[in-house]
Structure formats: structure tokens, C-alpha cells
A and B are shown apart, each in its own frame.
Chain A
Amino acid sequence: MNASPAADSRLDETIRLGHGSGGRLSRELLDGLILPALGPAGPGQMDDGAIFSPPPGDLVFTTDSHVVTPLEFPGGDLGTLCVSGTVNDLAVMGARPLALSLGLILEEGLPMDTLRRILESVGRTASASGVRILCGDTKVVERGKGDGIFVNTAGIGHRIHRLEASRIRPGDAVVVSGNIGDHGFALLTQRKGFPLESPLRSDAAPLFDLIHRLCEKVPVRWMRDPTRGGVATALCELCQSQPWSVTLTENSLPLDPAVRGISEILGLDPLYSANEGKFLAVLPAASVDAALEILRSHELGGNAARIGTITEDHPGKLLVATDFGNARVMGMLASDPLPRIC
């Protein structure tokens, strides 16, 4: 974004152990790369901790670690992912993101240019979400003991909307803010040796703005960002031990044709695939049209759809109604999906 890669000529081309020593090299890395790359979203003061004054009311506090491979992928990179993930966790709790921390664990030998690009994404995504990175930390591990970069972000938000599962009633509608499974399938197709090419891009994006617009106009009861484990696992967790069930309508699920095709070929269910820029919302059925209009008029909600209903039969279960007029029960994702071989 800003300076060319060699802005600070003292910097090495790759990360070395000394960059995590806390000494002069660490300072060089911070001043020469990290802070310039983060830009205006970065911290102002360099003390042992950040001081800020939250508005009155409830705070929401969350943390998330990111270990994605590859570090850069179509539609985003580790930088967009680590900010979106935490901002979205706050947003689906009904909170406006106020502050993030950024903990970096770098592997010796990581190219500085890669680190710079990823931190520029961190800065850009944080600015777009209206949140500052108030504190951070950098450590370096020996080559072979990390996977390029591991990142932890913790976030604090100010709760402005009440979103709670206890407010859900049978008859409510289940809405998703766009296509399902894009992130998981986009990353799958980037793996080394993957036999299929696709135009898929990760959907990683910060959702606070979209969520805030929706919650200001529509009485949303509950929200969740269906990341790892996908839509099915998020909804299984929701209805477990509840006196109601969730019934999805199979043919209403919004799917990119590439996701549909790859899922058919490999036998992987998009309902178990990760999303990084989508949310699930439960809201009164009477508000569905208004909700879809708000979502679809926003660039991050173009393919929003109603995908199901809160139902009374079979409490505690997630059901999928097929075109064939029958329904099957879906459970949580057990472990990493394994593509079939035959």
C-alpha cells in the first residue's frame, strides 16, 4: 500500500531469530515494518499495555488464533482472516468492535515482503471495520517450528444489540447472509496437488457494518458466524438442548456453482465447510422480507437467503428437508472432512 518493499534499508529480507529478541532488531522490525504496514489502525502508544475508556454498558471479549495454509489465497490472506474472524465474533454477539490485540508468532526465514503484505491487510481490514489494534506482541520460532506466521487476535466490543438464543421461538426464520462454504472450498482448491481448478475466492470479510444495519431495522433474535464446522455445526450447537428444532430446506441453500460441483465430485458437504464472511440469523418470519432487502442491498449480503425455519418436531435436532419430501438428521462435523477416493 504505502512504501515500496525496501522502505527501511536496514531490514533483512527474511525474519531471523533476533527479530524476536526484544532488543534492537525487534525495534527495527516494529518501526521499520510492523507499524508502517498497520497504518492508521495501529497502536499510538508503545507502553506495556494500552489504556482506553469504554462506553458505559456491557463489553464483549473474545479471542481467536489463526494457523491457515497457504498464508495468501484468492479473496484474502491471513491478515484479512485474523481481523475478520475476531471482529465477526464480536459483531454476531451484537457488539461494536472497539479494540484488538495482535499476537504474532513468526517462523525464522519468513520473507519480510510476505509479512508486510499480511500486516497491510490487517491494517486495511481493521480500518474497514472501524477498529484499532491497541496492543501486540511478536515472537520468532526456529525454522521448522512454525508455519510461516501464526496469529492470535483478541477483541473487545461494546454490546449494542441483544442477541440471545433464549429469544428464539418456533416459527422463526433462519437466514444466511450469502453463499455457503466459499472459504473452505476456496482454500481446499489451493492445496498442493489438488486436482481441480476453480474461480472460488474466500469470503473473508468484516461483517459489523452489515450486521449493525440489519439489527437496527429488524428484531434479530440470534446470530452466529459459521466458521469451522460450517452452517450445520453452528446450527447443531444452537438447537442442542433446546425445546425446538431447526429444519433447513435443501434446495434453498445458496451455493456457488463451483462449490456445488466440487462438493459433488469429492463428496464433501458445503454445510460443513468454513465461512469467514457470512452469518446466520434467526428472526421472526414476518421480518424475513425486510431482512433480505437490507442484506441484498449490501455488497457483503448479495446472495442472502432464507434457508430454514425453527420447528417444533424432534426438539434438539437439525433436520434437512430434501426435494423428495423427506428429511434427514444432520449431526456436527466429526473431524476434518476427508475426500473420498473412488
Chain B
Amino acid sequence: MAQPWNEFRDPSIARSLREEIRSIELDRPATLMEVCGGQTHTIYKYRLREMLPPSVRLVSGPGCPVCVTPISYIDQAVHLAGIPDVDLFTFGDLLRVPGTHLNLEQARARGGKVHVVYSPRTALEYARSHPKSQVVFLGIGFETTIPSFALALREAIDHQVGNFSVLLSAKRVPPVLEALLAGDAPLDGFITPGHVTSILGSEVYSRLTLRYRVPMVVGGFEPVDLLVAIRDLLLLLARGESVSGNAYPRAVKPEGNPKARRLIEDIFVPRHEELRGLGTIPDAGYGLREEFTGYDAARRFPFDGLESREPRGCRCGQVLTGSIEPSGCPLFGKACTPDHPIGACMVSSEGTCNAAFLHGESP
């Protein structure tokens, strides 16, 4: 049978990488963080942790966009769903993320017009064909998805689609990594996210590696991709080199995707952003440029968020910073499951708790 990704799932390549990894001599244990939720899923699914020596520990990072979105955002979206003229458009991931009182699926069951789409363009088309409706797109994502928000906004601006707006929670990976490095989590190296870096370019982390003396290697999403990234990181650690590397060259170029970045910069400017578990981080998000703020749903439909509060007992914040494993949360697998999620990390297909629940159980 044809297996297009065979090479990157080849068990014999994986085994030889495992041997290489085991032969690298480190003078102390190493804790590596995989930043992206997609990588976390592969690590759990292929049980890559079991292939590493005990001195190498993998922890999962904050790279699940839905998970790091604060609960006040969900509450604001639920609030919007309750406004009679509003049609809300979202990616499917967000639907069951708990708000303080309701999630969007429950808001829809109560009569809110919540549509699941695969692209913000679908929301824009709806806005153009339904001029009496207020169309709001829920713009949650990292640099991978932000260009698609920019493209839809560009079109809305050019065609003056006045009934279209975006509720933004757009995050930037490098400032989030810097916040982690500036904190007290003992992290020795990072597997940086392949898709995000295909936009930003592999050079983007050089300033961080230099300043914080931590190596960073771009990782893909297949098991062999990740084992190569882990090997490269350990080799850099063994040699004491704090530089950035690229173990995903088939998708990530040093210069990244300048066209997509220009698209982002035309529409957005960096702003302080609140992330679950990390607090407010300087420049970690994007807001609309001053001249385009008419398309900002947060301005069009003010909401104070004063009643928002995280679910009691939920430790998503610590899971997102790699401070605890999902099993370290007292709710994990008991009160909080994919059927009845309490925290965002259990809902999203990129969430660490979701990965640990689906694939983490030892047979």
C-alpha cells in the first residue's frame, strides 16, 4: 500500500535515531519543550517519550491556540452569540471550550447563530450576501492562521464590507517563548513549531538563543521529524552551543514566507496579549492597525469580562507552561474528559490533556 509519509514514519530510521540519541553524552539531565500541540499529539501517539533515555525529559508547551486563549474571550464570544443580529463564525476547535457559564455549542442550542467554518473567507462571503446580519469571525490562532485572517480583512476593507468584523485572539510565538525563558521553568531546549516557523523563517529564534543561551530546533510533525529535532537539540547541548537549528527543512526556509508576513503587517500591529497560564505578555498578540479598528468586533460590541473566571480546580495554566503533566491535575481523566471537558486543554485536538487522554494510557 502506498504510504506517502512512509519515510518519516519508518521504524528502522526511528530505531537508529533512538540509538544515536542514547549515545549522546550529556553532563546533566535535559528538559526539552515541544512548543506545538500537533507535535505533542505525535509524541503521545507514537509514544516517543518511551524511546528516550531517562535523562531526557519532554514537556509540552503553549502551542495550542485554543488552550492559551483566556476564558474571558470565550465569554465574550458567548455574549456575541446572544445578540440577535449577530452571526458568529468559528473554527470547530472552539465550539466546546468551556466559558464561565456556557460554551459556544450550548449558546447555539439556546438559539445563538454559531457557524463552524474552515476559513474566514466563508464568513466574509456570508457577510456580503447577508447585509442585514452582523458577521463576526472568531480569529484565534498563531502565525500559521493569522495570514488567513489578514486576507479576509484585506478583502473586507477593500470592498468596504461594513457588517464584517473579527474578534481577535491572535498570538505570536517568539514573545511567548521569551516569556517562558524569562520565567523560572527549567527548560534546556525547544522544539519550535514547524508550521509557524514556515511563516516566520528559521532565523527568527536567533535573538532568543543568544540572549537566553538555549538551543532551539525547528521540528516537524511526524515521528522521525521529531526524533531528528530531539537528536539535534541534544547534540547542541552536548557541545554547549546555544544556536537555532532546523530539523524540518522540507517545509521551513531560513527566510520563511515574506509574503504572508507582509500580509500580516499590512493589517495588524503587535499588542500586549493575555494568555492562559502565562498572564499578559508584551507584544505576544496582534491587534488591528489604528485605521482598521472599525473591523474589530471587541470595539463594535463592548464587553467587560468582569465575571469571567477559570473553572475551579483546573490546572490548564500549569499544563500549558510545562510545569505539570496532565496527570498532575486532580481533574484529569476523572471530572475532566473529552466527553465532559472542564479545561480547554482537554477539548482541543491540539491540547496536551486531550493527547494524554487519547493516546497516553499505557496498554
Chain A residues proximal to chain B, CB less than 8 Å: 191-195, 251, 254-255, 257, 260-261, 264, 267, 313-314, 317, 319, 322-331, 334-335, 337-342
**Complex Cα distance A327/B5, Å?**
19
Across the interface, B363 reaches (CB within 8 A) one of A260, A267, A314, A331, namely: A314
A342 touches B50 (CB 8 A): no
Are A340 and B350 in contact (CB-based, < 8 A)?
A: yes
Whether the Cβ atoms of B145 and A342 lie closer than 8 Å is: yes
- Are B65 and A342 in contact, CB atoms less than 8 angstroms apart? yes
Closest chain-B Cβ to A230's Cβ sits at a distance in Å of: 14
Judge if B74 is at the interface, Cβ distance under 8 Å.
no
Q: Which of B195, B223, B363 contacts A329 (CB 8 A)?
A: B363
Q: Contacts A324-B11, A324-B46 given: A339-B93 contact, CB under 8 Å? A: yes
Query: In this complex, what residue of A is CB-closest to B95?
Result: A338
Residues of B within 8 Å of A191, CB to CB, are 118
Chain A nearest Cβ from B164, distance in angstroms: 15
In angstroms, Cα B10 to Cα A329, docked, is: 21
Closest B-chain residue to A194, C-beta based? B118
Contact assessment for A335 and B38 in the assembled complex, using a CB-CB cutoff below 8 Å: no
- By a CB distance below 8 angstroms, the chain B residues around A330 are 358
CB proximity to A under 8 Å, residues B238-263 = none
Contact A193 B122 (CB under 8 A): yes
- B223–A338 contact, CB under 8 A? no
Q: Are A341 and B4 in contact (CB under 8 A)?
A: no
Q: Are A317 and B363 in contact (CB under 8 A)?
A: yes
A174 CB, nearest partner CB in chain B, Å? 17
- Is the pair A195, B358 in contact by a Cβ cutoff of 8 Å? no
CA distance A324 to B47 in the complex (A): 9
Interface membership of B1, Cβ < 8 A = yes
User: Across the two chains, which residue of chain A brings its CB closest to B64?
Assistant: A342
Min CB–CB distance B291 → chain A (angstroms): 27
Could you tell me the distance between the alpha carbons of A340 and B4 in the complex, rounded to whole angstroms? 21
Which residues of chain B have C-beta atoms less than 8 A from A317's C-beta? 363
Interface centre among A322, A326, A338, A339 (most CB of B within 10 A): A338
A317 to B66 CA separation, bound complex (whole angstroms): 30
Binds A, one of B52-60, B136-144, B200-208, B313-321: B136-144
Are B4 and A193 interface neighbours, CB within 8 A?
no
Q: Can you list 17 contacts pairing A with B, beta carbon distance less than 8 Å?
A: A191-B118, A267-B349, A325-B11, A326-B47, A329-B359, A330-B358, A331-B357, A331-B358, A334-B337, A339-B93, A340-B349, A341-B93, A341-B141, A342-B65, A342-B145, A342-B196, A342-B350
Quick check: A340 and B2 within 8 Å, CB to CB? no
Q: Is B118 touching A323 in the complex (CB atoms < 8 A)?
A: no
Known contacts A323-B11, A329-B361, A331-B358, A338 near B96 by CB under 8 Å? yes
Question: B residues touching A (Cβ–Cβ < 8 Å)?
Answer: 1-5, 9-11, 14, 36-38, 41, 44-47, 50-51, 63-66, 91-96, 117-119, 121-122, 140-142, 144-145, 195-196, 223, 337-339, 348-350, 357-359, 361-363
Contacts of B140 in A (CB 8 A): 341
Within 8 Å CB of A324, what residues of B? 11, 14, 46-47, 51, 223
A313 and B46 CA atoms in complex are apart in Å by 20
Residues of B near A267 (CB, < 8 A) are: 38, 41, 349-350
Q: Are B2 and A335 in contact (CB under 8 A)?
A: no
Q: Chain A contacts of B96 at CB under 8 A?
A: 335, 338
What is the chain B residue whose CB lies nearest that of A269? B358
Q: Which residue of B lies closest to A319 (CB)?
A: B363
Collect the chain B residues with CB atoms within 8 Å of residue A338's CB: 92-93, 95-96, 348-349
Q: Which single member of B9, B45, B65, B122 contacts A192 (CB below 8 Å)?
A: B122
CB-defined contacts of A195 to chain B, threshold 8 Å: 118-119
| CB contact between B118 and one of A193, A264, A334 (< 8 Å): that residue | A193
Q: A328-B45, A339-B118 are in contact. Are A257 and B4 (CB under 8 A)?
A: yes
Point out the residues of chain B lying under 8 angstroms from A257, CB to CB: 2, 4
Judging by beta carbons under 8 Å apart, are B363 and A327 in contact? yes
A314–B141 CA distance with the chains assembled, in angstroms: 39
CB of B34, distance to nearest CB on chain A (Å) = 14
Contacts of B119 in A (CB 8 A): 193, 195
Q: Pick from B91, B121, B363: contact of A313, CB below 8 A.
A: B363
Q: How far is the CB of A257 from chain B (nearest CB, A)?
A: 6
Nearest-CB distance from A272 to chain B (Å)? Answer: 10
Contact B339 A334 (CB under 8 A): yes
Q: Considering only CB atoms, which chain A residue lies closest to B12 in the complex?
A: A323
Given A257-B4, A323-B11, A324-B223 in contact, is the A342-B363 Cβ separation under 8 Å? no
CA distance A325 to B47 in the complex (A): 10
- Bound complex: CA of A270 vs CA of B1, how far in Å? 16
Would A328 and B47 count as touching, CB distance under 8 A? yes
Q: Which 8 A-B pairs have the closest CB atoms?
A: A193-B122, A338-B92, A341-B91, A334-B338, A329-B361, A340-B349, A323-B11, A334-B339
Residues from chain A with a CB closer than 8 A to the CB of B14 are 324
Which residues of chain B are within 8 angstroms of A327 by Cβ–Cβ distance?
363
Distance in angstroms from B135 CB to nearest chain A CB is 13
Shortest CB-to-CB span from B352 to chain A, Å, is 14
Residue contact B363 to A339, C-beta cutoff 8 Å:
no
Q: What's the Cα separation between A193 and B137 when bound, in Å? A: 14
Chain A nearest Cβ from B361, distance in angstroms: 4
Residue of A at shortest CB range from B143? A342
Complex CA–CA separation, A167 to B145 (angstroms): 51
Chain B residues positioned under 8 Å from A322 (CB to CB): 45-47
CA A251 to CA B117, docked complex, whole Å: 32
Instruction: Report how far A155 CA is from B161 CA in the complex, Å.
Output: 52
Closest residue of chain B to A314, judged by CB?
B363
